[in-house]
Amino acid sequence: MEQINVTIDGIQVSVPKDSTVLDAANAAGIYIPTLCHMPGHKPLGACRVCLVEIEGGRGALQASCSFPATDGMVVRTNTRRVHNARKAVVELMLSAHRQDCNACNRTLNCELQAIAKRLGIRENRFEGEMPKRIEDTSSPAIVRDSSKCILCRRCVEVCQNVQTVGTLFAVDRGFDTVIAPTAKKELAEAVCVACGQCVSACPVGALYEKNHIDRVWDAIADPDKHVIVQTAPAVRVAIGEEFGLPAGSRVTRKMVAGLRRVGFDKVFDTDFTADLTILEEGHEFLNRLTNGGVLPMLTSCSPGWINFIEYFYPELLPNLSTCKSPQQMFGALAKTYYAEKMGVDPSKIYSVSIMPCTAKKLEAGREEMSVVDGLSDVDAVLTTREAAQMMREAGVDFVNLPDEPFDEPLGISTGAAVIFGATGGVMEAALRTVYEVVTGQTLENVNFEAVRGLEGVKEATVKVGDIEAKVAVASGLSNARKLMDLVMEGKADYHFIEIMCCPGGCLGGGGQPIPTTDEIRKARMQAIYAEDEGLPIRKSHDNPAIKALYEEFLGEPNSHKAHKLLHTHYTPKALWPTDVPLDEVKSK
Amino acid sequence: MTTHTCDCEKLAGQNQADEAELYKQLDTIIEKHKNVRGPLIQVLHAAQGLFGYLPEKAQVKIAQGLDVPLSEVHGVLSFYSFFTTVPRGKHTVRVCMGTACYVRGGKQVLEKFQKELGIGVNDTTEDREFSLEINRCVGACGLAPVVTVDSDIYRRVKEDKIPGIIEKYKNGAGK
């Protein structure tokens, strides 16, 4: 690529020809504050915080995130005029922002707050009328609070372009502008998959998860309740970030210790039922393959993906594995197998999960997710952020906690389970088991590198005995859409497809510590595979607790009992308003 | 004096055509714009010309046809005061409130129209003859204050001329 020379605050840098002024400043090591800008996305140019002076030109200050750099350009970022303009932009934002910062869930991790501090804002110069507040708590997963929104449109960008769902858009104009679903409907009435990527993208406290912390404290305080917790694979490689540790810190056993300090009676592992998922889903796959079942089979672990396919590709619901997600398998076993084993009345068991995910809150509330009449399989779902918050409230000194193991038996798991937290992990774990089940031989190299990494769509052909299994993996719903379009057009000859709703898989989920960037995704991913390498058992079917579960309780994979407890069904959802009399309902 | 600008309002006069026929025409419009860059506003404009407003069903058809989220269709039409999602009167009066028109008496002109028609801004008279809207500059500041009725433009409007303008359009006259 052709290079150009740009001078910024006296520093000359050489940058590729299509760079913006912001890119050039980054290359020169000069900090420019931004709010609407997201690296890796096309510039939005909405917030105007990144103003700079360009020598010559028309004299106007320019938004560096979207202003193209040209050869010989001279830029100044550190002038009185720039300071004053940026300050005024942020002060105007603050004038329409409900500044009850102490009561805000993003306090001390708020980009607006950080920029206000950085720019030295010490007073509210523009006090006046505030826009009408819309507080939308209708969704079981995500809360919108317009009084915090700075209209940066980062949520719109990820919802529309990364996830291709398009729930949110700017409605109305000027002072009345609000980021909202179609016709300012509530989130619960809108087409929303609850993935929480908008929450992850939000620089302020305008979008956040539905709080489950209080109900969990209530349960812990109730002497009648036996409160158990399961932790998803991706949580252990991210929760350290909430306590100032670098991304990719492996803190599995500190997390267990922290949860004990919070007051959970038993600390179990979703990895246990991730292993179980492999047994159930692996056998379902082999069954479909040998008995002419519907192929390609699609994985069903990711609840945001389940919502997406129910809305956008209902024709492909028969392709979805009938397996419940590991969270829901765990919940089902907690109130049956575990209750029996412990001799505890299932109604006294309060089952909590810690998930990197907001959609898991919605999933836990689906009415079919109840194996014991009148009881939810999973009673509360905490995001990684909420779990960290409970530890803070409990006075846990996370960084200095000792290492403690999970409780048995629902805390025993393998390396195949922990990689569920990264895109490609379910596929890799399934291949490890399917290979040995089909061939009866030991798989020596368990690492399937072809399905690893952050790439949006990955493909591989794997020889499993006589079968050439063609598999594909996608993460992020725009990538899922590419694969589903191929399947719909009959242009895909895959046998098995893994889909994860969030880019990078669960490690980049909407419930993870904020921020999540590609760099952070990579660090968490490395940690996941290091966890796998470090475990003595790396194949799900070798998990002794899973073997015992089948022997004592379930019989064999896909048995009648397994089906009753561990499998589910799906329902098409209306993508278009149902009160509109359309001649034909098209799906997209 | 009047100036002809655009025929979309004339199309509104053909509203009597039955609904199915209008939706067929909408399909044709969408088809024509499918491969055009940034087609949404053009299609919304044409659709409002067809129906006189943008019913939800038309919004859905446009979203499906152009493969854009319904939230975007609604978001875009909510931005522009030209677009409306409720049925309008046979004639649309738009009083310009741009800077030039405002300082040259646009506000008094608007008040007079409100009084004469007996409706507020964005409302429609009970007999469905008139809707009243405000406009943010029609790009004819030299003619301020400007009023448009359908596609006719009235320049340097004085309050005493307003009853006459309204009379012109009553009972199907004016067009």
> What's residue B1's pLDDT?
40
Q: So what's the architecture of A213-566 in CATH?
A: 3-Layer(aba) Sandwich (3.40)
Domain end among B59, B79, B99: B79
Output the CA–CA distances (angstroms, integers) from residue A329 to A143, A152, A224, A413, in the order listed: 27, 39, 24, 14
Instruction: List every span in chain A annotated with CATH 3.10.20.740.
Output: 3-92
Cα radius of gyration (chain B): 17
Domain end among B56, B79, B102: B79
Q: What does the DSSP 8-state code read for residue A410?
A: T
Structural domains in chain B (count): 2
Output the CA–CA distances (angstroms, integers) from residue A74 to A7, A52, A55, A62, A69, in the order listed: 5, 11, 5, 13, 9
Q: Which amino acid is at A9?
A: D
B99: CATH: 3.40.30.10
Q: Residues A201-225: what's their mean pLDDT? A: 98
ipTM: 0.93
Closest residue in chain B to residue A176, using alpha carbons only: B79
- Which structural domain, as residue segments, surrounds residue B132? 91-172
Give domain status of residue B85, yes or no: no
Residue A135 pLDDT exceeds 60: yes
Residue B86 touches chain A, beta carbons under 8 Å: no
Contact criterion met (CB below 8 Å) for A193 and A477: yes
What CA–CA distance (Å, rounded) separates A215 from A218?
5
Topology adopted by domain A3-92 = Ubiquitin-like (UB roll) (3.10.20)
Sheet containing B152-154: order of strands:
B130-135, B91-96, B147-149, B152-154
Q: Which amino acid is at A439?
A: T
Beta strands in chain B, from DSSP E residues, in sequence order? 91-96, 130-135, 147-149, 152-154
Tell me the pLDDT of chain A averaged across its residues. 96
Give domain status of residue B1, yes or no: no
This prediction's pTM: 0.91
Domain match, B75 and B107 both: no
Q: Longest C-alpha distance within chain A, in Å?
A: 80
Residue A174 pLDDT exceeds 80: yes
> What's residue A556's pLDDT?
97
Domain match, B116 and B164 both: yes
**Which chain A residues touch B73 with a CB distance below 8 Å?**
182
Output the CA–CA distances (angstroms, integers) from residue B157 to A140, B4, B108, B169, in the order listed: 55, 18, 10, 16
Sheet containing A11-16: order of strands:
A11-16, A3-8, A73-76, A51-54, A62-63
Domain match, B31 and B98 both: no
Calculate ∠ Cα A192-A194-A199, nearest 5°.
110
CB–CB contact B74 A167 (8 Å): no
Q: Residues A507-512: what's their mean pLDDT? A: 98
Closest residue in chain A to residue B68, using alpha carbons only: A166
* pLDDT confidence tier of residue A585, bands split at 50, 70 and 90: very low
CB–CB contact A160 B64 (8 Å): no
Reported as a single tens digit per residue, the pLDDT across A353-369 is: 999 999 999 999 999 99
What are B76's two structure tokens?
């875009």
Give domain status of residue B84, yes or no: no
Instruction: List every span in chain A annotated with CATH 3.30.70.20.
Output: 105-123+130-209
**Which chain B residues touch A168 with a CB distance below 8 Å?**
71
Output the CA–CA distances (angstroms, integers) from residue A48 to A61, A83, A188, A482, B158, in the order listed: 10, 13, 32, 34, 41
CB–CB contact A588 B78 (8 Å): no
Reported as a single tens digit per residue, the pLDDT across A99-123 is: 999 999 999 999 999 999 999 999 9
| Domain at A105-123+130-209, CATH class | alpha beta
Domain match, B12 and B75 both: yes
Reported as a single tens digit per residue, the pLDDT across B103-162 is: 999 999 999 999 999 999 988 998 889 999 998 888 899 999 999 999 899 999 999 999
Q: What does the DSSP 8-state code read for residue A211?
A: P
Contacts of A374 (CB under 8 A, 6+ apart): A347
Residue B18 pLDDT exceeds 90: no
Domain match, B126 and B66 both: no
CB–CB contact B70 A182 (8 Å): yes
Q: Which of A55-69, A287-301, A522-536 has the lowest mean pLDDT?
A: A55-69
Classify the phi-psi angles of A341: left when phi > 0, otherwise alpha if psi is within -120 to 50, otherwise beta. alpha
What CA–CA distance (Å, rounded) separates A84 from A86?
6
Chain A residues within 8 Å of chain B (Cβ atoms) = 160, 165-173, 181-183, 190-191, 576-577, 579-583, 586, 588
Q: Residues A436-454: what's their mean pLDDT? A: 96
> What's residue B82's pLDDT?
86
